[in-house]
Amino acid sequence: MDKITLKGITKAYGKNPPVIENLNLDIKDGSFTVLLGPSGCGKSTVLRMIAGLEKTTEGDVLIDGVSVRDVEPGDRNIAMVFQNYALYPTMTVRENIEFGLKNMKVPKEERKARISEIAEMVGLTEYLDRKPANLSGGQRQRVALARAIVKKPAVFLMDEPLSNLDAKLRTQIRTDLIELHQKLKTTFVYVTHDQIEAMSMGTDIVLLDRGKIQQHDTPDQLYANPANVFTARFIGSPPMNILPAEAADNKFEENIVKIGFRPEKAHLINADQTGDANSIVIDGEVVAREMLGDQVLYKLRTPYGNISVKDFGDSQFTYGSHKVAIAIKDTACFDAQEKLRGFGLEKE
Ligand SMILES: Nc1ncnc2c1ncn2[C@@H]1O[C@H](COP(=O)(O)OP(=O)(O)O)[C@@H](O)[C@H]1O
Ligand SMILES: [Mg+2]
């Protein structure tokens, strides 16, 4: 069942050209849906229209199948957490979390019970009597989350809530959010420009570019079957290598203009070796070698552009001339419109 439906949404700010044009999107009930895309592509605008903080120029937002056109943000049963969450500095953690509940006229006993439950869930039990100034950045962000969740909203919206935190804390809270979603089973809609965040937390990802949906899929599908070159280049670290079809001696069908392969599907061989019959081979030069622990990442310069290759941690290739071999079956084939036609589409 769909929790949120965006129907033919267009959004223009003032007299400017629309930033979102005729967008249609179904967000599944209970999903952890991530709106992903480069900065400025319209993610926050979409989220704010769901929340009711921004009016749609055209189209309709439905929650549980009902238009919320005339429903005020406060009455949409939605909670939202932003990047720049503002806690009340003079209130304790408990008072910060309690504030919204008081506004909702939740009775005192129930307020107490809900706060204990939430505090336990997000690991704030020991900090309930502290003021925000005496908390770490991560703890403050947890208070912001708790304050939103405690209202038991039907939909939980988050706009880049982790971007002000350091890398270690981000990974930690990422895991917390996955756990929280598992516990609550509430619909989460989460905005980020960070594909790693999206891939690690989302059950569903909506990848946007310039206000248009490029692909709406599970993380697995997005990785394994990118719909087009944009998606292939956006997902993965480093992302898929994309080269002109000439790089593969035009082994692929006539309509294939670009080919792609994931760094971990490519292998380095020595310059004097030849690849097997089921591979394509590209000459290149190793210009960087990065030891990542369990893997080594090589960057190669080739006549067709740079290529990233991931190899196992004990891989010992040196700088200089080498070859990259990729199994034909692992090679993504894109047409002139940059759409994926399939993998390993060899000429007859
Ligand atoms: N209040 C506003 N007035 C005018 N333009 C805006 C406003 N908010 C956002 N925009 C523009 O709309 C586009 C999408 O912005 P936004 O939704 O914030 O993107 P994202 O969240 O993906 O970075 C950008 O070009 C931005 O400059
Ligand atoms: Mg934004």
- Measure 123 CA to ligand 2 centroid, in angstroms: 28
Is the pLDDT reported for residue 91 higher than 90?
Answer: yes
Token pair in block for residue 213: 């949906």
Is residue 212 domain-shared with residue 328, that is, in the same domain?
A: no
Residue whose CA lies nearest to ligand 1 atom number 2: 13
The position carrying tokens 């670290």 is 237
Ligand 1, CB within 6 Å, residue ranges: 13, 19, 37, 39-45
Identify whether residues 189 and 112 lie together within a single domain: yes
For residue 75, the enclosing domain spans: 2-230
**179 and 265: one domain?**
no
Alpha-carbon gap, residue 97 to 75, rounded angstroms: 19
The CATH number of the domain holding residue 260 is 2.40.50.140
* Residue 158 sits in the same domain as residue 214: yes
Model pLDDT for residues 245-257, shown as the tens digit of each residue: 999 988 999 999 9
pLDDT for 316 beyond 80: yes
Which CATH number belongs to the domain containing residue 171 in this structure?
3.40.50.300
pLDDT at 341: 98
CA atoms within 13 A on the CB side of 301: 6
What are the tens digits of pLDDT across the range 244-300? Answer: 999 998 899 999 999 999 999 999 999 999 888 899 999 999 999 999 999 999 999
For the entire predicted model, the pTM comes to 0.94
Q: Is the pLDDT of residue 12 over 80?
A: yes
pLDDT (tens digit per residue) in 67-81: 999 999 989 999 998
Clarify whether residues 277 and 316 are in a common domain.
Answer: yes
Mean pLDDT, rounded, of the chain: 94
User: For the chain, what is the domain count?
Assistant: 2
Average pLDDT over residues 185-202: 97
Are 123 and 102 in a shared domain?
A: yes
Domain shared by 10 and 156, yes or no: yes
CA of 44 to the centre of ligand 2 (A): 4
294 and 176 part of one domain: no
Q: What is the mean pLDDT of residues 12-29?
A: 97
Is position 348 within any domain?
A: no
Which of 10, 11, 19, 83 to probe ligand 1 with, by most ligand atoms within 8 A of CB?
19
Task: Identify the residue whose C-alpha is closest to ligand 1 atom 20.
Answer: 40
Q: Using alpha carbons, list the distances in angstroms from residue 61 to 73, 214, 331.
A: 12, 20, 40
Mean per-residue pLDDT, 130-150: 91
- The reply to whether 247 and 199 lie within a common domain is no
Do 215 and 113 fall into the same domain?
yes
Residue 86 pLDDT > 90: no
The rounded Å distance from CA 163 to ligand 1 centre is: 18
The overall longest dimension of the chain from CA atoms, in Å, is 78
CA distance to 48, 141, 245, 248, 341, per residue, from 255 (Å): 41, 50, 10, 14, 9
| Same structural domain, 250 and 146 | no
